[in-house]
Structure 1
Amino acid sequence: MSFAALIILAAALGTDAFSLCVGIGLAGVTRRQMLIISVTVLVFHIFMPLAGWFAGEFAGSKLGRAASVIGALLLVYLGARMIWATMRGGRDTEIKTVNFTTWGLVLLGTSVSMDALSVGFTLGARQVNLLLTAGTIGIVAGAMTASGLILGRFVGSWVGGRAQLLGGAILVGIGAKLIF
């Protein structure tokens, strides 16, 4: 696999994280949260191809669907909560950032990197430098995550108070798409 093909593959794998993080950024994130989320996605995008390479396809397909559904439900929940807070008015709309627990970060990282697990199965059958490939996928996905968060945060500050409503709608939409 050429390095150009690897970069294209990595960018394709990072698009889920980018689009999801635009929605999260719209809801509001601090710089610290941006760093934590970006590093989480980077690590998962390195780990998942390696895990896929070492795991069997049967186990990966069973885990992949369950993790995708759980991650999608988390996104729907977060998005619905943001929409509810915006529509309700009151003190919840004054919260300008989304808070992720450790478990939430694990589910986020898992849900956006499940396609990288599948790629790992394929990489196991090909003659590739697995560490270079997984590292490149992780770095590109981490950069795309940070870009999505920055874009969402910028647009959120520009749009104003309705950014949380838009971000919630994006998260619900992405979560619903992942379920179906």
Structure 2
Amino acid sequence: MSLIELFIIAVGLSMDAFAVSICKGLSMQRMSWKNAVIVGLYFGGFQAGMPLFGYILGSQFKEAITSIDHWIAFILLGIIGFNMIRESLNKEEECVDCSVAPGNMILLAIATSIDALAVGVTFAFLQVRIVPAVSFIGSTTFVLSIIGVKVGNVFGTRYKSKAEFAGGLILVIMGVKILLDHTLGI
């Protein structure tokens, strides 16, 4: 997997965390860089840890399903991407409170990184170098989460659904690319 493809996946995965970070920033009376870094650490850490966990799980089954791994990657990324797109089109705004308490942040970090677990499974099938990949994903999410808090504090919810839609679309496109690479040799 090329660095550009990994960057695209990292940005796509981080869009849920970015959207929640915007809500965090929206709910803050005053922008707090300390709280923004805490948000970034939680989201970045879980976005790095979940694909690692998925990779370990996927590696256990790799031998048994190598012949259909590209279909699994396509289906998983497609489901995740379409779900993100569907959620972005939902008109109900569901912003979270401004608390950065550990219990609150752990639940949000898990919720925004479940898709990264599935991507980690696909990484096992694609023979991705996992440590650099998860480090890159975590770092990207960390930075975008801090930016999201600032954007939310300044602009409100204007960009939340657009970010989630873009993230979903990116994951669907990557799933199609993986399928085409393996079936057509493109």
- TM-score band, normalised by shorter chain: 0.5 to 0.7
1:55 CA displacement: 2.5
SS of the residue 1:55 aligns to = helix
TM-score normalised to structure 2 length: 0.61
Q: Assess if the C-alpha contact under 8 Å between 2:48 and 2:134 holds in 1.
A: yes
Aligned counterparts of 2:144 and 2:24: Cα–Cα separation in 1: 13
Residue type matched to 1:16 in 2? D
| Alignment length (residue pairs) | 130
Write the mapping of 1:30-41 to structure 2, written as runs, cut at 5 A. Answer: 30-41=32-43
Q: Which residue of 1 aligns with 2:134?
A: 134
CA shift in 2, pair 1:108/1:145, >3 Å: same
Unaligned runs of 5+ in 2: 60-75, 77-91, 165-186
CA RMSD across the alignment: 3.0
Q: For structure 1, which runs of at least 5 residues remain unmatched after alignment?
A: 62-75, 83-97, 157-165, 175-180
In the alignment, the residues of structure 1 paired with residue 124 and residue 58 of structure 2 have an alpha-carbon distance, to the nearest angstrom, of 10
The 8 Å contact of residues 36 and 146 in structure 2, kept in 1 or not, is answered as yes
Task: Select which of 38, 43, 46 maps to 2:45.
Answer: 43
Is 4-13 or 14-23 further displaced after alignment? 14-23
Give the CA deviation at 1:56: 5.7
Mark the CA change 1:43 to 1:150 in structure 2 (over 3 Å): closer, same or farther. Answer: same
CA distance in 2, matches of 1:79, 1:11: 21
Q: 1:79 to 1:22 in 2, by over 3 A?
A: closer
Preserved contact between residue 58 and residue 120 of structure 2 (Cα < 8 Å)? no
Aligned equivalent of 2:145: 145
For 1:54 and 1:126, the matched residues in 2 are separated by 13
> What secondary structure, in the 3-state scheme, does the structure 2 residue paired with 1:42 have?
helix
